[in-house]
Amino acid sequence: MNNLAQPYPISPEAKAFYQENNYIKLKQVLSPEEVAHFSEVISAEVQRKNTQEKLIEERDTYSKAFLQIFNLWTESEEVKKFVMSKRLAQIASDLMGCEQVRIYHDQALFKEAGGGITPWHADQYYWPIDTNNTITAWIPLQATPLEMGPLEFSAKSQQIVFGRDLQIGDDSEVQIKQNLRVNNFEHVIEAFDLGEVSFHSGWVFHRAGANQTDQMRKVMTIIYMDAKAKLMNPKNDNQIHDWNTWCPGAKIGEVIDTELNPIAG
């Protein structure tokens, strides 16, 4: 069944839940056939583009967390259909309450068998974007039980400023974990059913556990921003890198409207 061409109604309750908690998990966004098809297509791209040669034991925490392959939509027409799909873009706009969304970039995040944790972090530390209306669709390409390292969220933690200046790594895992405990936010750790997709905002803190299974945890992610989002003056070197890589040519104070940032849907 072609779910991706159909709308996915977002109820006022679901939108309110997202606005309050800055994450949401939605079931049956993709049909089993779509998951199977895009798993095959995206896995082939990851295999083709992967340059990681080190054994897991020889890598640092960040590189143990996943194989990370970016902007597959620019290289494969089939992936482009997925990343530009109406359904995913409509969910992203409805949750954020904006008219349209643009692509910031996509990334496949494949946590290998025996792959390590993804440390606590907030994504927007990396992004020179002037709005909080940013959202990531985290799309597992199989059912994802707890042992495989599904995405975990600290509900409502977008309210916390501490940790927003930490890049992902050993230090962010320790410091953010400690601070979230003190603040007592709910730590949501749940499996994902086949076809289930989560959406989280740029400032909500999240992490993932290690992959303790002997299977790859295959995940595709799409980062969207409000179509009206503007480029801000970068606040750190990672944001300068992002500007040069994901929206080269965009101008500070102007809408991020480069060839790499089309309106999705």
Ligand X SMILES: O=C(O)CCC(=O)C(=O)O
Q: Which is nearer to ligand X, 160 or 257 (CB)?
A: 160
Contact residue for ligand X among 87, 102, 206, 230 (CB under 6 A): 206
CB of 20 to ligand X, least distance (A): 19
CB of 198 to ligand X, least distance (A): 9
- Regarding 125 and contact with ligand X (CB under 6 A), the answer is no
- For 238, the token pair is 């990672």
CB of 214 to ligand X, least distance (A): 18
- Regarding 243 and contact with ligand X (CB under 6 A), the answer is no
Contact residue for ligand X among 73, 138, 185, 243 (CB under 6 A): 138
Q: Give the span between the Cα atoms of 137 and 264, in whole angstroms.
A: 13
**Which secondary structure element, helix H or strand E, spans residue 19, and what is its range?**
helix 12-21
- Regarding 151 and contact with ligand X (CB under 6 A), the answer is yes
Contact 110, 71 (CB under 8 A): no
Q: Which is nearer to ligand X, 219 or 257 (CB)?
A: 219
- Regarding 133 and contact with ligand X (CB under 6 A), the answer is no
Contact residue for ligand X among 123, 152, 226, 242 (CB under 6 A): 123
**Which secondary structure element, helix H or strand E, spans residue 86, and what is its range?**
helix 86-96
- Regarding 137 and contact with ligand X (CB under 6 A), the answer is no
CB of 124 to ligand X, least distance (A): 10
CB of 115 to ligand X, least distance (A): 9
CB of 179 to ligand X, least distance (A): 18
Strands of the chain (E only): list them: 23-26, 67-70, 101-110, 118-121, 134-140, 151-154, 187-188, 197-201, 206-208, 219-226
- For 209, the token pair is 């556990």
Q: Which is nearer to ligand X, 118 or 158 (CB)?
A: 118
- Regarding 136 and contact with ligand X (CB under 6 A), the answer is yes
CA distances from 135 to 45, 64, 171, 214 (A): 24, 24, 24, 30
Apex 21 CA angle, 70 and 65, nearest 5: 35
Interactions with ligand X, residue window 63-122 (CB under 6 A): 65-66, 109, 111, 118
- Regarding 225 and contact with ligand X (CB under 6 A), the answer is no
Buried b (16+ CB within 10 A) or exposed e, 117-156: bbbbbbbbbbbbbbbbbbbbbbbbbbebeeebbbbbbbbb
- For 216, the token pair is 């790859």
Contact residue for ligand X among 67, 129, 208, 216 (CB under 6 A): 208
- Positions touching ligand X (CB under 6 A) are 65-66, 109, 111, 118, 123, 136, 138, 151, 206, 208, 219, 221
